[in-house]
Amino acid sequence: MAVMHYHQSREVKEMPREYCGIIAAVGSEVNHIIYDGLRVIQHRGQESAGIAVFTEKLLVKRGSGLVTEAISPEEAISLPSDRGIGHVRYSTQGGQEEACQQPMTVRARFGEMAIAHNGEIVNSNELRNKLFTGGWGFVTDSDSEVILRLLSVNMATSGEIIAGIREAMKELVGSYSLALMVGPRVFVIRDPLAIRPLCIGRIGDTHCAASESVVFDSLGGEFVRDLKPGEIVELTDKGFVMHTPICEGPTAHCMFEWVYFARPDSFVDGRLVYDVRRKLGIRMAHESPVAADFVIPVPDSGRAYAIGYSEGASIPYADGLIKNRYVQRTFIMPHQGDRVSGVSLKLNPLKPVIDGKRIILVDDSIVRGTTMKQIIKIVRKCGASEVHLRIGCPPVVSPCHLGIDMKNREDFIANGRSVEEIREFLGADTLAYASIDNLLASIGRGAGELCLGCLTGKYPVPMPDE
């Protein structure tokens, strides 16, 4: 879910945006399943959360912070229903106000509607202006509100819910996985390029959908499958009602799901995230070997890569950095000062493991470089004789316009710098990134099936800002 500021200010337009997670469920104990499921995908959004359920009317509870801060267990219990949706969100500068929290709601011809959105609509401004000209007012600057109002307009015009959804999908350009309630009916929708992840499963007699399959595993359920590109699925108390995808074409799955965002125990479009990261580590060991005493991950995102590198290089693996799990991810923090100060709170070195040793430090990616520079300083201060940096993602050189907090080209450490210049800036003895070829081989998909826009500057949809 992105907050799209349509005013002309360049400063506003280039603010960081967020990444989100969604859940939908129809069946028994839905409020418990949605609440616990949101906690399972808490990594996808840590600054607000919300639940919407339907009884005789729509009931919504939203708030700032982690799931347990935004919604207390007592409040979740007070939302008994057999159908509902949920959302976790990373907020943005200018987008942290309560009105931008999800699920968002509106009253429309087919009843009260609620939406939870993961993704970003690149033609949001155009659609907003069209709806505004047609008489719609807007409460927020969010592209999710644009989707919700576009859906309600198209449903009213077509006179039918599914037809209205299909018409709206023809107008939307960008990435979206949606959980949608229209009165008592619950739908999940995936964009025609399947950029954002979305899957369905069962937990007991409850039929569910979620951004990641780990929700079903963690709650004792069963993963069924990923949604197809452009597919609409209705969740009912009897099962899933599949609606034919609006098109059968190429996909553009976001490679960053496997590289960073998804939990390692999730399956994303048929690939176990842990296996992809481990294979990338093995390939990096063959592609960029170096002599060392230990392979150490940057926890937790670098762990699977480091395990693979250790295996491929036959160099011992060690946990040399201990993570404080109660500190937010620094990558997503909007202010650079927050990212710098957060590193020392987040990671503490094990001196007996590091002191006097040649260390291969492994992580998933480098975007701004601020955090990694601080980590290398910590490792050197702890006595490492050498620090060799290995990164599981190729250099990020272009903005993401499809739902990830990477908007300012000037912030990317790889923008206009050689690998050697980056190494010198970070303070490592050597630096190597995984190649795009090895990334593709590890995911097991071709370049034509993935969105690699942040690596190549070539996007699967037209980018007005580009």
The residue to which tokens 């005789």 are assigned:
56
Q: With 0-12 CB in 10 A as exposed, 13-18 as middle and 19+ as buried, what is 171?
A: middle
Question: Among 131, 172, 164, which Cα is nearest to 149's?
Answer: 131
* DSSP letter assigned to residue 251: -
Instruction: Output Rg (C-alpha) for the chain, integer angstroms.
Output: 22
How far apart are the two ends of the chain, measured CA to CA in Å? 20
Q: Which two tokens stand for residue 272?
A: 């176990």
CA distance 149 to 155: 10
Q: What angle do CA 423, 372, 324 make, to 5 degrees?
A: 160
The SS3 assignment for 111 reads: strand
CA distance 139 to 1: 16
CB 454 within 8 A of CB 435: no
CA distance 456 to 459: 8
* DSSP letter assigned to residue 25: E
Tell me how long the chain is. Answer: 466
The residue to which tokens 């060392």 are assigned:
292
Q: Which two tokens stand for residue 148?
A: 């919700």
Question: Among 115, 54, 117, 113, which Cα is nearest to 83's?
Answer: 54
CA distance 367 to 392: 12
| Strand partners of residue 232 | 189, 243
CA distance 445 to 271: 10
Count of CA atoms in the C-beta half-sphere (13 A) of 308: 29
Q: Mark whether 393 is an active-site residue.
A: no
Q: Which of 20, 100, 208, 400 is catalytic?
A: 20
The residue to which tokens 């609509």 are assigned:
121
Question: Among 367, 463, 364, 466, which Cα is nearest to 415's?
Answer: 367
Q: Which residues are annotated as catalytic?
A: 20
